[in-house]
Chain A
């Protein structure tokens, strides 16, 4: 079964959930029934996979952790005259249907997230029942469900019997054609201009509502016996070409950004952009490029060339896993830096420990019988260019309080959220030792097997590593005595030591620490600390503004500005 599921692409947890539902049923299931069940079950799996793919494609800007998308009708948010079936997608009426007082509605499980930009769902009329008094639309949470959508405040609907639209009112306005059995009615919410239009069998009927409030739920209402409707929240292809409509709005938003008026300040903009580029190059120590760029754009560089080169040297050491040398060089070049910043030193040493386990740190490489390379021979890694953007995931960087518009930004971790996608190319090389391989001498390349051995396989190196671990332990205790508890430090050390609990640390649950990509946040933190001592910004303005743009977009999503859907920062970075 799981084999099949894997092909379907369903995650196991969800599969268990569905299978669990089955076993709870405590029924003896005959073979034919089981076969039917299996077919239905696989159908659901495929449908779910298709749904997830479609939703991801339609609404890439939505963060479903924060704002889940509607996927079905809510069994908890409906009037009692409504019955649900077929995975809560089919709605039927089960009341008396004698008067409008018998009307009943159901809302979707979640409101429409603003970050959709444009949201769309369709409802197929399976049967118009006795009178076809069906309403399709939107309503806010808490609106009376013993009504058809559109009759109350914060409720909007298009009714099948007369084709009228109801905008928070008991009396409708002539809007479109009537609809009945077999018709597919679509409802599109534009969260950029807060309007809504409907479609009938794939044809747009024009704007029905304007000035819609935020956080509306897809809603349907029925009123007479026999009425049955099916929802499509993305489980199936839509009849109306919603993606074409979305393309139009994406183009509109992007044109707005491109044509953002800068008025008389064109010259200022150019100078500012040049400054940003130059400071970015300097920050990441691309000396030659920075120099050439500064020269051609007639700018001054605010840091000594020697200083840039020093930082470049240290960064290369960190990124190639030679932490011991990196720490030593830092202490040489910036004598008081690590002394004053014990937490940073601790972090560097923990990383050194990890590199020892990895067999890459210079100290263990010596013991492993291989001479450490001279510093000059480190090839400049082309990946350096990417590296500063990558950051370890960190805690929530951004807080908004409800009554207080003030925004706090933890600049250190600004790029959280930006980094993930841009790191794709980097992660593609599946070997955790990518960098080493590239930089190693020929003999190392041949013996790939040895790379998987603790500390490079040398007994002396292992002893050194254990000794170093003890030193680290005592440094940790010392720090705690001096400066009080530090949970971050504690966790860091615990995670690092955990590596030793496994026979093959690389494939262990904590093995990610050995990945060379984990060197990058360390490198970036050290670089920032050095720059700070020179009174230079910890982060280059370019990265800062990229991070700010990303934060701005997620803030827009939270405050209901739909245009954030069509202005992904990534679109502009590539």
Chain B
């Protein structure tokens, strides 16, 4: 009997479609009106009509200038109704090129018809299956939509809703901005219609996001004599609908992050921040809590003062702990999705809260089961949650105290290592950066991490295309080599390979270069290590040092390089690599007379090590260097205005006197 029913429905549907082809226009109009009444709220009927080819015919009728305005309008209404159905309906409509047809329709002068087209366009564009790019393919569309904004409250509502949904990239922002979106939409913020106000507000939030040009313009806009930021502040009043409060807070957040509003402005400190904290409360809907937490995290990320205020506002830290109480296991997909969304939002906000202040980090780690939650978050199925959890861990890992205590107690390095094995770059960056902190010498996790065989993994990171990963890889190795055993150092050099080491010394990223020099310096510490490394890799290292000292590099890079040279000069046998290299000695001489004190100091260190008395052959070296004119330079430096440099030169001079 079910089959029978389906056939019956199909039969009536066919009848509706047939009527669209009636030779009498009056019958066609009546047919469209009947179709309109038949499809309202009836998804199956909609699907049937689409399958039976109603859409192309409706579009044809809509586009024919011979059709009556009434018929064209009714066609747009039916199409709008069809679009209200399932995502598949939308796909079919888009495939039938409904968008260009409706956009064409907007050129008509009849307001009722325009509104029907816009309503349908709105429904199509807000669907996630519609490619937003379709709004921008014809360059005349955006200016025309802007001009239609003045026509009626309905055109305002639909157009701003379309903009708010279709502005997804900086290019989109620029197109809308260049066509006067701000001037055209700002007056709508005080429209008598709530829907118009709301959609206009949403437009501003997507326009201002990470866009300094838009944000800077927004702060100077006046609406009815009032500054836009004040209009947004009023929209955050606590008796306004939550959606409005939240969206207004987003606008101000984006304007602030884009540098258009100072972080200590009252509208941020006393209005936006408290509003966003309220959005995190248990009373709010799950989506609001997620958006509230994410926006708040973004707002205060760069500002320690906002982090401090948020950390004491309305018990935010413990309020966030409730985000983890949403059921983790559920048969319902959307429940699971909500649980993921809530957890990742909470992790993000914790990460932001704890990124600078030690007391706040302590407060976070002391929150009920916090470390356990992070640890389990690191191995969750949702990549979003894993990423947020590792961000949170990274933020907390900046605390010496936490590294020594909670991080060790909860063995966070284990899940972290697991995460590093097989993760997308985003996660890898955060995880490896956290690992860098865990490998600091005072971290009790350093030992177990070393034993887990992490070196190969870190070496492979240094070969990544991503500069951030290369930095983190070499940085971790640098931390690992600091005051390490000979065995570890040898292992690092072996695993990395000299070729890769020297490739990193010519890395285009200065950070990578600095950390690589740092690694070299850590490898070349304590005399036996220096001699051993230099005996096997001395030639290449001296070459690299020469290259860097001759190249165009920053003071910091050169200083670090001279420090390496000073370390080499401290070796027993390694010294000779410098002493026999007159070119290198000339370079040291040059830097002793450099205008930068830091470089002078490092070069003087190097000489001081070469002429040190108690070592074999010191007399010969002293003689040679005197002959080369170093004593004169040292003598001059004893008069230097910098006390450190002066002291260092005096100490070196004493070697000659003894």
Interface residues of A (CB under 8 A from B): 176-177, 200, 202-207, 241, 244-245, 247-248, 250-251
Chain B neighbourhood of A202, CB < 8 A: 270
Q: List 21 A–B pairs whose Cβ atoms lie within 8 Å, in order of A's numbering.
A: A176-B312, A202-B270, A203-B270, A203-B274, A203-B309, A203-B312, A203-B313, A204-B274, A204-B313, A205-B312, A205-B313, A205-B314, A205-B315, A206-B314, A244-B237, A247-B237, A247-B238, A248-B238, A248-B239, A250-B239, A251-B238
Q: Tell me the dominant secondary structure on chain B's binding face.
A: loop
Chain A neighbourhood of B315, CB < 8 A: 205-207
Q: State the CA gap A251–B319 with chains docked (Å).
A: 24
| B366 closest partner in A (C-beta) | A174
Q: State the CA gap A378–B440 with chains docked (Å).
A: 99
Is the Cβ of B239 less than 8 Å from the Cβ of A206? no
Chain A neighbourhood of B314, CB < 8 A: 204-206
A274 to chain B, nearest CB (A): 31
Chain B neighbourhood of A207, CB < 8 A: 315
A198 to chain B, nearest CB (A): 10
Q: State the CA gap A111–B237 with chains docked (Å).
A: 29
Is the Cβ of A247 less than 8 Å from the Cβ of B239? yes
A248 to chain B, nearest CB (A): 4
Chain A neighbourhood of B313, CB < 8 A: 203-206
Residue picked from B237, B239, B274, B319, most chain A C-beta under 10 Å: B239
Q: State the CA gap A202–B274 with chains docked (Å).
A: 10
Interface residues of B (CB under 8 A from A): 237-239, 270, 274, 309, 312-315, 319
Chain B neighbourhood of A245, CB < 8 A: 238
B462 to chain A, nearest CB (A): 44
Q: State the CA gap A248–B278 with chains docked (Å).
A: 12
Is the Cβ of B312 less than 8 Å from the Cβ of A200? yes
A156 to chain B, nearest CB (A): 17
User: 9 nearest interchain CB pairs?
Assistant: A248-B238, A206-B315, A247-B239, A206-B314, A251-B239, A177-B312, A244-B238, A203-B313, A247-B238
Is the Cβ of B270 less than 8 Å from the Cβ of A241? yes
Chain A neighbourhood of B238, CB < 8 A: 244-245, 247-248, 251
Q: State the CA gap A202–B267 with chains docked (Å).
A: 12
Q: State the CA gap A241–B239 with chains docked (Å).
A: 13
| B315 closest partner in A (C-beta) | A206
Q: State the CA gap A205–B270 with chains docked (Å).
A: 13
Q: State the CA gap A247–B275 with chains docked (Å).
A: 14
Chain A neighbourhood of B319, CB < 8 A: 206
Q: State the CA gap A204–B319 with chains docked (Å).
A: 14
B281 to chain A, nearest CB (A): 10
Chain A neighbourhood of B239, CB < 8 A: 247-248, 250-251
Q: State the CA gap A245–B238 with chains docked (Å).
A: 7
| A254 closest partner in B (C-beta) | B239
Q: State the CA gap A247–B238 with chains docked (Å).
A: 6
| A201 closest partner in B (C-beta) | B309
Q: State the CA gap A349–B239 with chains docked (Å).
A: 54
A396 to chain B, nearest CB (A): 35
| B241 closest partner in A (C-beta) | A251
Chain A neighbourhood of B312, CB < 8 A: 176-177, 200, 203, 205
Chain A neighbourhood of B270, CB < 8 A: 202-203, 241
Q: State the CA gap A251–B312 with chains docked (Å).
A: 26
Q: State the CA gap A278–B315 with chains docked (Å).
A: 54
| A250 closest partner in B (C-beta) | B239
Q: State the CA gap A251–B240 with chains docked (Å).
A: 9
| B271 closest partner in A (C-beta) | A241
| B314 closest partner in A (C-beta) | A206
B360 to chain A, nearest CB (A): 11
Chain B neighbourhood of A248, CB < 8 A: 238-239
B238 to chain A, nearest CB (A): 4
A239 to chain B, nearest CB (A): 9
A204 to chain B, nearest CB (A): 5
| A241 closest partner in B (C-beta) | B270
Q: State the CA gap A477–B50 with chains docked (Å).
A: 96
A57 to chain B, nearest CB (A): 16
A566 to chain B, nearest CB (A): 11
| A207 closest partner in B (C-beta) | B315
Chain B neighbourhood of A200, CB < 8 A: 312
Chain B neighbourhood of A205, CB < 8 A: 312-315
B312 to chain A, nearest CB (A): 5
Q: State the CA gap A247–B236 with chains docked (Å).
A: 12
Chain B neighbourhood of A247, CB < 8 A: 237-239
Chain A neighbourhood of B274, CB < 8 A: 203-204
Q: State the CA gap A251–B242 with chains docked (Å).
A: 12
| A245 closest partner in B (C-beta) | B238
A75 to chain B, nearest CB (A): 35
Q: State the CA gap A245–B319 with chains docked (Å).
A: 19
| A239 closest partner in B (C-beta) | B270
B292 to chain A, nearest CB (A): 15
Q: State the CA gap A502–B43 with chains docked (Å).
A: 85
| B275 closest partner in A (C-beta) | A244
| B277 closest partner in A (C-beta) | A204
A310 to chain B, nearest CB (A): 48
With A203-B312, A205-B313 known, 8 other A-B pairs at CB within 8 A are: A176-B312, A203-B270, A203-B274, A203-B313, A207-B315, A241-B270, A244-B238, A251-B238
Q: State the CA gap A177–B274 with chains docked (Å).
A: 16
B85 to chain A, nearest CB (A): 32
Q: State the CA gap A426–B504 with chains docked (Å).
A: 89
A104 to chain B, nearest CB (A): 28
Chain B neighbourhood of A204, CB < 8 A: 274, 313-314
Chain B neighbourhood of A203, CB < 8 A: 270, 274, 309, 312-313
Q: State the CA gap A174–B205 with chains docked (Å).
A: 38
| A252 closest partner in B (C-beta) | B239
